[in-house]
Structure 1
């Protein structure tokens, strides 16, 4: 690429970066403002950087308990998705045939089904089996998250030669050992990608927990955040502070794993 094209591309990149960062700027500066300042001018720098909003939001959210609930549901759900999706993708990639191809296309097609179209019958069905609780929502996240995860795993597994499986089988490994000790360690980049993508989705999800988790003390952070928005008043200053607190763990996790995420997505989509 010539030098004459580099400067315009850099300028475009800077502009796009500023556009992308603008919501974070609004979130952070307004989280330090009073309600009057927010309604006065959302773009203006806060008059003073005090932590009163964060302290009150921390208390109103019952942050430690809701944070624990979010972490518990997110970690278990992501772990279950990784285990079952990787095994399903391995079985589909190694068993070539019309049925395997049909099942794979079925999983791919399931990504196009919006949650709202199955929301009412799903909640009704799980209610009959008394599964409107934490195990129930984890099971639902497995169902909704496995399609994309299988698609990504399947793309990477298609590029791993079957000769590795055959060599391990000759050495005395069964299929379970071949997958867990030989193949699964090779899936680290795509596993990190699947983990981060599902973590961001589950951590920020509001609709499904609002339908399933209806017991006091079991709310996740997005569900508890709803209490800042009443019928007659909206506490934007507290909500923005709470959103900032809730975003920090996911942002930290993403920055530590961003290289693996990019590598995993490229491998899963190209191969």
Structure 2
């Protein structure tokens, strides 16, 4: 009976895995077809494997420039979010100021507001000020939207760090700043890795916010560069599929390298 239940459980997990992987596998298959064959039967296997679609996507998307734009925006935004949210979380936990609880709950409340509610006023305000179409404003917006969740996550982890570690450092003459970066921050590695992956997935794949802010073609990120495959009356699907695969690969590689730390961070977060 136990073996039967284990067998049923394994089959169910494999079916669930296949259901999650099916859209990705479908994109991979169709990235090797011609658009005509894709329209005729998107579920059929490709008759031959040609990289012409990838070459076409690389040129049409201006992939090197779009990749650099996405990389700069993602890396800088994530670094700023991790730095400021960790320091803010530490301040809210260790300094018993009355205003800290107010600030913390205001940040939590801001996480419940959908971006779609504020995107039009946000774009109108920055547009009237002439601040759109720059990577700096996009970085500023990503930082503002990402820090509340980062503070919430770090807040829970730092509460579980014994204060005695810091007291020992203070006795040895260490400053508050030095203690945070040399003692507290290394202990937060699991949650840092988890937040890095979550924020990279969000910023790297984001289409809506860059489409509202970055108006010039030279500023486009990889998701925006897929505009190259859309015309007024048709869509070149197969190179589009190849472009999507090329966009996904960097994030997929990052996840494969950091998957152990991600699982550890999620597990420790659940325990805390």
With the length of structure 2 as denominator, give the TM-score of the two structures.
0.95
- Corresponding position: 1:201 with 2:199: no
Structure 1 consecutive aligned stretches of length 4 or more whose deviation exceeds 4 Å:
none
Deviation, structure 1 residue 107: 1.5
Question: Which stretch of structure 1 is more off in the superposition, 257-266 or 81-90?
Answer: 257-266
User: Which residue number corresponds to residue 218 of structure 2?
Assistant: 217
Q: 1:131 to 1:181 in 2, by over 3 A?
A: farther
Q: 1:102 to 1:266 in 2, by over 3 A?
A: farther
User: Which residue number corresponds to residue 150 of structure 1?
Assistant: 151
Deviation, structure 1 residue 259: 1.2
User: Which residue number corresponds to residue 96 of structure 2?
Assistant: 96
Deviation, structure 1 residue 246: 0.5
Total equivalences in the alignment? 271
Unaligned runs of at least 5 residues, structure 2: none
1:35-74 CA-to-partner distances (Å, cap 9, x unmatched) read: 1111111111001100110000000001011101100110
Distance 1:143 1:270 in 2: 28
Question: Which stretch of structure 1 is more off in the superposition, 156-165 or 101-110?
Answer: 101-110
Distance 1:172 1:130 in 2: 49
Whether the 8 Å contact between 1:225 and 1:239 is mirrored in structure 2 is yes
Distance 1:97 1:239 in 2: 53
- Residues 135-146 of structure 1: matches in 2 within 5 Å? 135-146=136-147
User: Which residue number corresponds to residue 13 of structure 1?
Assistant: 13
Question: Which stretch of structure 1 is more off in the superposition, 169-178 or 60-69?
Answer: 169-178
Whether the 8 Å contact between 1:31 and 1:238 is mirrored in structure 2 is yes
1:105-157 CA-to-partner distances (Å, cap 9, x unmatched) read: 22122111111111122122323444321111001000111111111111111
User: Which residue number corresponds to residue 188 of structure 2?
Assistant: 187
Deviation, structure 1 residue 236: 0.9
With the length of structure 1 as denominator, give the TM-score of the two structures.
0.96
User: Which residue number corresponds to residue 170 of structure 1?
Assistant: 171
Distance 2:269 2:153 in 1: 5
SS at match of 2:112: coil
SS at match of 1:217: helix
Distance 1:226 1:268 in 2: 39
Whether the 8 Å contact between 1:28 and 1:240 is mirrored in structure 2 is yes
- Corresponding position: 1:60 with 2:60: yes
Unaligned runs of at least 5 residues, structure 1: none
CA RMSD of aligned residues (A): 1.5
Distance 2:60 2:110 in 1: 38
Distance 2:130 2:184 in 1: 38
Distance 2:267 2:125 in 1: 38
User: Which residue number corresponds to residue 25 of structure 1?
Assistant: 25
Q: 1:199 to 1:238 in 2, by over 3 A?
A: same
Q: 1:93 to 1:173 in 2, by over 3 A?
A: same
Whether the 8 Å contact between 1:153 and 1:268 is mirrored in structure 2 is no
Distance 2:164 2:231 in 1: 61
